[in-house]
């Protein structure tokens, strides 16, 4: 497994690959878990070589403490990737990516950026767009793999690819869950024992919401979820929304030809957890 920290040397390596070699790319912020590794596994099956980036992107954090506390486990990440036969890892510094101007570009994602996460994390999607476009331009992958836990992020990246006429194909992969249903996330390792024990309630609740959506309208289901969290001793609901998968707009009247998802964000102490379920 080759490890590059500089764009120039990574690009030299990519240029040296034989014509026709396909590149699968898995962008990450490290603190890897089975969810990430499943993306690497899929990329391996579908491409000749796999490149994984590990970069905690400062411009997508709306909260300085969240950036400082974001878990960093680089040695463990590298050994996991090696054991998964990853071909190349790219671990740049912020200076390598941004030079001396650590700032986001401003994107127009046709309104997708103003829904859900966008209402609570100012500037987050401009930061994601900036880094993902930069990485796509450096790596020039044929396919790039993202987990559906960040479903809104995937829709935003698809929009960016379409608007900026990038040639990469975006592959969405199902959410990986712990045995008790908690969606895998790098942030889970920051939960206390008590918070970790409480966290499966998030998925349990959206699973019940899915059943209710069969007979009730979206606003009734949203109210029911809000009520479930009302007096929870450990978890604090930030939002729950039932939205159209394509537009991410909240559902008013159900249309049988459309696909919907329930999206949720919850705090356990200062750890923010998100999840979603197809309805």
With binding defined as CB under 6 A, does residue 113 bind ligand PAF? no
Supply the minimum distance, in Å, between the C-beta of residue 231 and ligand PAF: 32
The answer to whether residue 176 is catalytic is: no
- Of 197, 165, 170, which is closest to residue 182 (Cα–Cα)? 197
Binding flags for ligand PAF, 20-59, as an x/- string (CB under 6 A):
-------xxx---------------------------x--
To ligand PAF, the closest distance from the beta carbon of 110 in angstroms equals: 19
Rounded Cα–Cα distance for residues 124 and 88 (Å): 27
Q: How far is the CB of 267 from ligand PAF (least distance, A)?
A: 19
* Least gap, CB of 120 to ligand PAF (angstroms): 15
The yes or no reply on residue 205 touching ligand PAF (CB under 6 A) is: no
Q: Give residue 266's Cα distance to chain centre.
A: 16
Q: Is 88 in the site for ligand PAF (CB under 6 A)?
A: no
Site mask for ligand PAF (CB under 6 A), range 216-255, x = bound: ----------------------------------------
Residues of this chain, 117-146, that bind ligand PAF according to CB under 6 A: 128, 131-132
Q: How far apart are the first and last CA of the chain?
A: 40
3-class SS string, 14-54: HHCCCCCCCEEEEEECCCCCHHHHHHHHHHHHHCCEEEEEE
Note whether 262 binds ligand PAF by CB under 6 A. no
Residues 6 or more apart whose Cβ sits within 8 Å of residue 227: none
CA–CA distance, 35 with 41 (Å, rounded to integer): 10
What is the C-alpha separation between 262 and 217, in angstroms, rounded? 12
- What is the full DSSP assignment across 99-160? TT---PPP---TTGGGSTHHHHSTTHHHHHHHHHHHHHHHH--SEEEEEGGGHHHHHHHHHH
What does DSSP assign to residue 170?
E
The residue (of 150 and 275) whose beta carbon lies closer to ligand PAF is: 150
Q: x/- contact string, 153-192, with ligand PAF (CB under 6 A)?
A: x---------------------------------------
Q: Is 150 in the site for ligand PAF (CB under 6 A)?
A: yes
Of 33, 36, 124, 176, the active-site residue reads 36
Minimum distance from residue 184 beta carbon to ligand PAF (Å): 12
| 115 or 205: CB nearest ligand PAF | 115
Tell me if residue 243 falls in helix, strand or coil: strand
Give the nearer residue to ligand PAF in terms of CB position, either 29 or 40.
29
Which residue, chain included where needed, has tokens 């249903």?
181
- Catalytic center residues: 36
What residues line the site for ligand PAF (CB under 6 A)? Answer: 27-29, 57, 60, 128, 131-132, 150, 153
């Amino acid at each position: 497994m080759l490890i590059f920290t500089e764009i120039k040397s990574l690009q030299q390596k990519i240029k040296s690959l034989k014509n026709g070699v396909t590149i699968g790319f898995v962008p990450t912020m490290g603190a890897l878990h089975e969810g990430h590794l499943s993306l690497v596994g899929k990329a391996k099956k579908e491409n000749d070589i796999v490149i994984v980036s590990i970069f905690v992107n400062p411009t997508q954090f709306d909260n300085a403490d969240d950036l400082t506390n974001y878990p960093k486990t680089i040695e463990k990440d590298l050994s996991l990737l090696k054991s998964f036969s990853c071909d190349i890892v790219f671990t740049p510094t912020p200076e390598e990516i941004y030079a001396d101007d650590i700032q986001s570009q401003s994107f127009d994602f046709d309104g997708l950026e103003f829904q859900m996460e966008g209402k609570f994390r100012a500037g987050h999607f401009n930061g994601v767009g900036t880094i993902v476009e930069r990485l796509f331009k450096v790596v020039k992958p044929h396919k790039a793999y993202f987990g559906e836990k960040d479903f809104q992020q995937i829709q935003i990246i698809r929009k960016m690819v379409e608007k900026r006429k990038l040639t990469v194909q975006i592959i969405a992969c199902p959410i990986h869950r712990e045995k008790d249903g908690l969606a895998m996330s790098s942030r889970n390792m920051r939960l206390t024992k008590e918070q970790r024990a409480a966290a499966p309630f998030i998925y349990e609740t959206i699973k019940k919401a899915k059943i209710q959506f069969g007979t009730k309208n979206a606003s009734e289901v949203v109210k029911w979820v809000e009520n479930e969290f009302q007096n929870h001793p450990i978890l604090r609901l930030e939002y729950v929304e039932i939205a159209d998968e394509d537009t991410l707009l909240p559902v008013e009247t159900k249309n049988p030809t459309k696909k919907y998802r329930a999206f949720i964000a919850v705090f356990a102490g200062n750890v923010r957890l998100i999840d979603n379920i197809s309805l």
